Chain A
Amino acid sequence: MAIAIEMPKMTDTMEEGVLVQWMVEEGRAIAAGDVIAQVETDKATMDVEAYDDGVLLKRVAQEGDALPIGGLIAVLGEEDEDISDVLAEYKRGLSAVPEAESGNQAGEPGRLDVRPAAAPPPAPVPAGRIKASPLAKRMAADHGLVLAHVPGSGPERRIIKRDIEAELQRVPAPVPTGDRSFDSVRLTQMRKVIARRLSESKYTAPHFYLSVDVAMERCVAARRELNVRAERTDGQKISYNDLVTKACAAALVQHSDVNVTYMDEEGEIRRYAYIDIGVAVAVEEGLMTPVVRDADQKEVFQIAAETAALAARARARALAPEEMAGSTFTTSNLGMFGIESFTAIINPPNACILAIGAVRDVPVVQNGVLIPGKRMKLTLSCDHRAVDGVVGARFLSTVQGFLEEPLTLLL
């Protein structure tokens, strides 16, 4: 009996996957556990394994196709077996979820049960419905107009025929001279996830920002000393970022009211007993945030080693989804680009994110005398639903204290 191989749900947030590469030719015999294809999800490129033995009768999806979870990838079976029934069942095409929802009941023999129990959540409906007459909708579609851009003059701002006509007759803006061509780059899964998650964060979490300028002279000296020794002993070098991660972990122990998630539906604020710090890492196509677990219980060297390993794996796109999930706090560093300070968007489900600027040489007035100093700006973004100004300020002040007295961190 022919077996349908469907697009599996590989991560919690995955809604579709792009079949990047086929690993098996049509007509080849395969065994359960063989990798048959690679799929790019929103988080990583992952292997699709066969769950049964058989002959790969048909590669239904082509390389580059994006399929929803449950979409038909391939058909497995015995040689020369008729697969028209299976194909017919999925006849609605690659882009559609198969209609025979009931055909994939758990336990039914011969079918992979890889689809999630619940259908993926529907796309969010934009707030505020646009009212338009049926005719206006049809006219807008015919002329490629976006209804949201057309002012409505009917009752309750309903967009009607005359509004579409006015829009069509509007004098076009003067056309600039010069080359006006552009390239279109298809959104990657990662880009889509970044767009969705960060929009959601910025639109739902009311952000406020706290900045502090940290005196870094002692940190700079301590780091130099530690790294000289590391070079001699072939040990782990540490970055300012690692020191900040450690300082945040230590501060979160004292300020557990920052190590939280605002849970709107549950009507609660979840306070975590553990401290898992996400570290934003720039990769070629975007951004990933691998997580250093239990950062408060690790020495700065250990944090440095783990962060370096995670970052390397992130750049190779080899991180497993679980290595990026479940942080309780996040840091983001653009200091290496000379950025003095910036504000970061909170990484859900965290309540706060710390933006780290560059260590700068600045003139400092000490006891009335101008001397050279080292300063680093930290900017904390807080979700005001969970964290108030004073709470965030106390936390940031503690972080500052640790960094200005780094011995307290290293002891």
Chain B
Amino acid sequence: MAQLQLREAIRAAMVEEMERDESIFLMGEEVAEYNGAYKVSEGMRDRFGDRRVIDTPISENGFAGLGLGASMSGLRPIIEFMTWNFAFVAMDQIVNNAAKIRYMSGGQFSFPIVFRGPNGAAGQLAATHNTSVESLYSCFPGLKVISISNPDDAKGLLKSAIRDNDPVVFLESEYMYGMRGEVSDDADYTIPIGKARIGREGDRVTIVGHNKSYWRAMEAAEMLAADGIEAEVVDPRTIRPFDWETVIRSVKKTNRCVVVDESNPFASVASEVAFQLQSRAFDWLDAPVARITAKDTPAPYAKNLMAYYLPSAEEVYRACRDVLYLT
């Protein structure tokens, strides 16, 4: 095990996989000469050279399409978006080509490609730079969507994503790049896609949260523990395919669920979790499923409003007490 920052864990996954397989390359804005906008790819150009670590112009639609063409032709690209907010201009490539051509070609073409970059809120960057896209890309069959909450999961799941023969949307967090954690240094360390992780065991209420929301869930669980209430925290890690079994097993034990999700509320991951639970665990629910999401507006700029906009541990704590009928 090694103590790594999240950015170092992501880098380790890419470096190890590129060492292992020459067909893998990294492409994106400022990934090469500048060593990455967030220093995720620091040193990689020196190590692998210009042909495998490639700077692009500001042209997401162009280099996303370039990556797709390369993946159809036998290479395994990693496309870095400086943020997923910038990938909206590349949506036609991701949604119409990456997600669908394997299906439309009857399996003749596949896309072993990873689109990765920071997702969600990143501070006072205002409305257009604070979007959460996990539910959006999860709408499209054909895409796998991963959203990680710690360095070890980042390494294990990114290596699985790179090895996967289908397009994977890999969601990181600008806020969390500096987060340190124990990471396996096994060069063959992978975590299977589609498996949730139980971050904390409890029997009174299930809190589901991914990415930064996982940490809000863990903070709320601490507050509940001070009240003598043991919450179970589930990090789905993969949004699509979602590990329903783990969440449902947990809810059948606790009989109540709060979902924390940094997306805007409508048709969010939280919406889908609530639907699946009422459908598959109806007779085990003692309270309606609650969710804490971003407020239903574009992200504000002001610091105090931004703090209000995002899910807070206090809100999660209150929601848990609500579904426990303790208010």
Contact = CB atoms under 8 A, between A and B. Distances in A.
Nearest to B282: A134
A135 B285 contact: yes
A161 B283 contact: no
Contacts of B283: 134-135, 137-138
Interface in A128-177: 133-138, 153-155, 160-162
A137 to B, nearest CB: 7
The size bracket of the interface on B is under 10
A135 B282 CA distance: 8
A138 B282 CA distance: 10
B284 A134 contact: yes
Task: Report which residue of B282, B284, B325 has the largest number of chain A beta carbons within 10 angstroms of its beta carbon.
Answer: B325
A133 B323 CA distance: 11
Nearest to B252: A135
What secondary structure prevails in chain B residues at the interface with A? loop
Nearest to A164: B286
What band does the interface of chain A fall in when counting residues whose beta carbon is under 8 Å from B?
10 to 19
Interface string A27-43: 00000000000000000
A179 B35 CA distance: 90
Q: What is the predominant secondary structure among interface residues of chain A facing chain B?
A: helix
- Residue with the greatest number of chain B CB neighbours at <10 A, chosen from A134, A137, A138, A162: A134
B7 to A, nearest CB: 44
B286 to A, nearest CB: 4
B287 interface: yes
B67 to A, nearest CB: 47
B252 to A, nearest CB: 10
A153 B284 CA distance: 18
A133 B285 CA distance: 7
B150 interface: no
B263 interface: no
A154 B285 contact: no
A153 B286 contact: no
A90 B325 CA distance: 48
B255 interface: yes
Contacts of B285: 133-135
B99 to A, nearest CB: 36
Residue of A138, A154, A161, A162 with most chain B CB atoms under a 10 A cut-off: A161
A122 to B, nearest CB: 24
B284 A154 contact: no
Contacts of A135: 255, 283-286
A133 B284 CA distance: 9
Contacts of B282: 134
B325 A154 contact: yes
A131 to B, nearest CB: 12
Interface of B: 255, 282-287, 325
10 contacts: A133-B286, A134-B285, A134-B286, A135-B255, A135-B283, A135-B286, A138-B284, A155-B325, A160-B287, A161-B255
What are the 6 A-B residue pairs with the smallest beta carbon separation, nearest first? A135-B286, A161-B286, A138-B283, A133-B286, A134-B282, A134-B283
